[in-house]
Structures are given as C-alpha cells and as structure tokens.
Chain A
Amino acid sequence: MKNLLRHLFVALLVLAVALPFLWMAYAAFLPPELVNSGEITRFGFSLQNFRALAPEGFWWRLAYSLGVSSLATLLALLTGFPAAYALREGAPLLGLYLFLLAVPAEMMLVPLYGVLAGTHLLGSPWALIWPFAASPFVVFLLYQGLRAVPWQIVEAARIDGAGEGTILQRVLLPIMFPHLVTAGVLSFAAHWNLVLYPRVMTGEKWWTLQVWMADLVRKYPSDWGLLSAAALLGTLPLALVYLLFERKIVETFEGSLKG
C-alpha cells in the first residue's frame, strides 16, 4: 500500500513534468485550421507550421545562437581547465570563485551594461561572448573533478619531466573528459538560456533565438502551431546533446555535490 502511494506520487510527478514537452511536440504538428477552430483534441497532422518558420528567420537565428553559445562555452572551458588545475595545485583563490558563483548572470545586467556602454562591444555579438569567456561554475565543477584524481599521477608525470601543458593535455584531459563534457553542456545551457541579457546588450539584428522566440509570442500569441514548432526545434539541439550525455551529466553533477 505504502509502495503503491509512492509509485503513484512519482507517476503524477513525471506526468506533470513531462506535460509541457508532450504538448509542445503535439502542437507543433497540429494543422492551423484545428488550432483556429479550437478543436485541438481532434487528430490532425501537418508540417505547415515548420514551413512557416523559415520566412520568420528561424533558421538563421538557430545557427547564430548555436554559434555564439558554442564559442562562449569553448572559451569558458579553455580558461576554466587551467584555472581549476591551478586551484587544485593550491592557488588560494577558491573563495573568490565561490563568491562569484553565487552571483547569477541576471544580476549582472545593469553593472555590465553600464561598463559596456560606450565601448564598441555594446550592440555587437561579442557582448554575448567575452563576458562569458570565464565561468566560475565551470571552474568549480572542474575543480571538484580534479579533487577526485589521485595526484600521484601528476607528480609522477612531473618527475618524468612533463611540463604543465603536457600534464593538462596528456594526463588530465583524458581523465577529466566526463567533467569537461558535463561542465560544457551545463554552461552551454546556461548561455543558451539567457533571454534578457542578449535583449539588452545587442540590437535586434543580433538577438539570439531566445529573444527572438519571446518576441514571436508577442507577435502571434494565438498561432500555437507556429510557436510550438519554433519551441520544439529550438529545444531539440540541447535536448539531443543532453540525452546523449545524460548519464554522465547526472552522475558527474551528483558526484561533484558530494565533496
């Protein structure tokens, strides 16, 4: 009986969490006539919504957003890995990173805008890249991963005459691969999901998919099919990457919370 209640609770939870996804996938294929007449429970299948996306400029936004977020993530990993290594080696700056970790990107809106105003960064796509080229979150996650690495390996490599660069690339990179993937996916997601930041920092021409989509809702609030098609395709890249690495991500994240 008690177990039955437990399973029921989990089943309800799963349904509630999955419902928006299921609806998104269903509505994307609804023929517009059915949406307009309010007959969404009648079965219909149409690809019209997807075709209607191209004239709105969807594909360019998608490619552009993928590019910007990938570049920012790559830079964050490139700066974060050596930084985490230095912290693991005993650099006394962990506190600073933990403090910065507690400051979410949303909080930076006014301060960053003020600093960027007057520089040529404001209004250009670089405003979406340079401020994210170092991430305290990435550093922290990688540092937690490095703490679990038996440090004799590094010392042995050093005795064999390996330089710091070689140690990072040849010794630690293969061991840390799951952590790098996790940090990469999570920081990509964080960057991908910025909405107000790109809206404020760049002009309409350089808005990311997120901002564009928030605008689309205002433009066509009742065209559910079109909106859902955009939502579905905009979610797929991240969802696919996540599904691909899901086991690693959840395990690595959980593991880094234990320490």
Chain B
Amino acid sequence: MGLAPSLLVLAVFGLYPFLEVVRFSTWDWSGLSRPHPIGLANYRELLTDPAFWHSLWVTLEFALITLPSFLALSLLVALALEGQRYERWVKGLLFLPGLVTLSAAAVSWYTLLSPEYGALQTLLYTLIPESSPLARWLVVPAWDREPFWALLLVVAFTLWRYLGYGVLVVSASLKSIPRSLLEAAWVDGATPRQALRYVTLPLLRPAVTFLLVVGTILALQSYVAVFLLTRGGPFGGTRVLGYFIYQVGFEQYRLGYAAAATIVLLLLTLLLAYAQARFMEEH
C-alpha cells in the first residue's frame, strides 16, 4: 500500500517515458510538430553522422581520463585521511562541491580559470613576474582554443564535484575492515606496505567495483558541466554524447533523432556497466 504513490509517479514519469522514447526514435519529429513515422531512418543516419562518431570518441576520451583518476584519487585521499584528526572535517569539505549550486560553481571556475586574463593567471603573474623564466611554466592553458585542455577542464570540474562521494565510499569500506585482520598480518611480520597491498586493497575491491560502475554511468552521461563551461567547444572537442543529444534535440529541434541517440547511449551504458561488473567479479 505504502508503495502506491511512489510507484505511480515513477511509472508515469520514469518507466513510461522509456517505453515511449523507443517509439519517438522512429519518428521525424520536432517535439511540437506532428510526428512522421520514418522507421529506422534515424538510426541509419546516426551511423553515418560524423558528429555522432566524434562525440562518441570524445565521450570515450572523457571516461578514460576521468575514471582512473577518480578511482586513484578516491583511494589515495581515503587512505591519507584514515585516522587523522582532520578526517571528518576534510570529508565534509570534499562533499561540499557536489552540493553547491552547480552554475555558481561553474561561474567561479570560469572566472578563476579563464586563460590569459583569468583571476588565477593574474594572481600567478603578481606573485611571479611575467618576465621571470619560471612564469613560462605557470600559464593557464588556453582551453578556449585547444580541445584537449577544454576536455581536461571538464574532467577537473567533474572530479572536483564528485571526489567527496568517492572518498566516502572507499572510506566506509575501509572502516568495515576488521582491525583483527590487520593485526594478524602485523603479527605475521608484514610491513605496513605489505599489509596495505595484501590485506587492505583486496578488501576494498567491492567498493572500487561499485565506484567504477557508478562512475561509468556518470561519465557516460554527464554533460551539464560541458554546457556550463564550454558548450561543447572548441571545435566539438568537449561535445560528449549527452551534450550531442541535447544540441540535436533542443537546439536543432530534432527530437526523433535525439531519441535514437538516447537509446544508443542507454544501451551503451547498460552494456559497459554490466561488462565491468562481470569483469571485476571474475578478477
């Protein structure tokens, strides 16, 4: 009985749209116009659309940079914080970026990290004169012109936002390791490094698996940061698949085409998350 209101809302606004989107994907439809059924033409067009393939590649690049650094940082920070006096305090701070107003955070990043005239660059030049040899190495990269740096900016922003979650997940798992296991390792003469390598890390595997799967889903589908920081540019260098869908659907008003791309993205997500979970279970 208690489930009824919750299920009703989720069915209407959660499950039903997912069934409908399959139908939309076979339409030529702006969202407001009368739909024309066109069969699989949207999918055929997707397969030959260079913008789609490019955005798929960008998404892959984004995920391949973000995921390993996210996992490594989560592990490193959780281990570094474990048992320190400031542990709780730092965790609280790390969690904050994920909660604060997203576009406010983007405003701050944008003004702080603008190339050439940004606040950070101005500050650096004030501390270290522009003429000194050191200043050559302290230049904020031109992410407004170079796709690679633009992508790194989006990666950094994403890490900044989600690191707190990652650290909490690893940390929760660290705390559930029975102290007796580590003590047993020490009694057997293990060095702290060996204890970490052979006791702690293997026991953290479920947490890492969880982060990897959730992180993949997030990495494949996060595009709000792209909208706020780079709008897909420069030269489509940060146009991840999610942002491609947004542009096609709501800037070019081709909702049917966007629906087809949504389905491809959804299948890709499910496939990858499943494959990862299987892979991690076996190893």
Known: A111-B21, A193-B101. A231 touches B107 (CB 8 A): yes
Name the interface residues of A55-74: CB closer than 8 Å to any CB of B.
none
Instruction: Report yes or no: B1 in contact with A164, Cβ–Cβ below 8 A.
Output: yes
| Chain B residue nearest in CB terms to A193 | B102
Q: Kindly provide the distance from the CB of A186 to the nearest chain B CB, expressed in whole angstroms.
A: 8
Q: Kindly provide the distance from the CB of A7 to the nearest chain B CB, expressed in whole angstroms.
A: 8
Whether A154 sits at the interface, judged by CB under 8 Å, is no
Whether A49 sits at the interface, judged by CB under 8 Å, is no
Whether B142 sits at the interface, judged by CB under 8 Å, is no
Q: How many residues of B contact A (CB 8 A)?
A: 85
Instruction: Report yes or no: B224 in contact with A195, Cβ–Cβ below 8 A.
Output: yes
Whether A20 sits at the interface, judged by CB under 8 Å, is yes
- Of listed B9, B103, B245, residue having the most chain A CB within 10 A: B103
Q: Kindly provide the distance from the CB of A80 to the nearest chain B CB, expressed in whole angstroms.
A: 6
| Chain A residue nearest in CB terms to B8 | A134
Known: A41-B123, A246-B92. A254 touches B172 (CB 8 A): yes
Which listed residue, A21, A102, A108, touches B108 by the CB 8 Å rule? Answer: A21
Whether A150 sits at the interface, judged by CB under 8 Å, is no
Distance in angstroms between the alpha carbons of A80 and B223 in the assembled complex: 28
Distance in angstroms between the alpha carbons of A209 and B6 in the assembled complex: 27
- Of listed A93, A133, A230, residue having the most chain B CB within 10 A: A133
Instruction: Report yes or no: A217 in contact with B107, Cβ–Cβ below 8 A.
Output: yes
Distance in angstroms between the alpha carbons of A257 and B31 in the assembled complex: 40
| Chain A residue nearest in CB terms to B250 | A200
Interface membership of chain B positions 22-38, coded 1 if the CB is closer than 8 angstroms to chain A and 0 otherwise: 00100000011000000
Distance in angstroms between the alpha carbons of A214 and B103 in the assembled complex: 6
Instruction: Report yes or no: A196 in contact with B246, Cβ–Cβ below 8 A.
Output: yes
Query: With a CB–CB cut-off of 8 A, which chain A residues contact B8?
Result: 134
Instruction: Report yes or no: B93 in contact with A18, Cβ–Cβ below 8 A.
Output: yes
Interface membership of chain A positions 199-220, coded 1 if the CB is closer than 8 angstroms to chain B and 0 otherwise: 0100000000111011001000
Instruction: Report yes or no: B160 in contact with A254, Cβ–Cβ below 8 A.
Output: no
Q: Kindly provide the distance from the CB of A219 to the nearest chain B CB, expressed in whole angstroms.
A: 12
User: What are 6 sample pairs from A and B whose C-beta atoms fall under 8 A apart?
Assistant: A79-B9, A82-B6, A102-B214, A106-B222, A196-B246, A258-B172
Q: A20-B97, A250-B88 are in contact. List 19 more A-B contacts (CB 8 A).
A: A9-B76, A10-B84, A17-B93, A20-B108, A27-B111, A41-B126, A86-B3, A93-B3, A117-B31, A133-B13, A231-B104, A231-B107, A234-B101, A234-B103, A235-B104, A239-B96, A254-B172, A257-B168, A257-B172
Interface pairs A-B: 4 shortest CB-CB: A82-B2, A111-B17, A231-B104, A134-B9
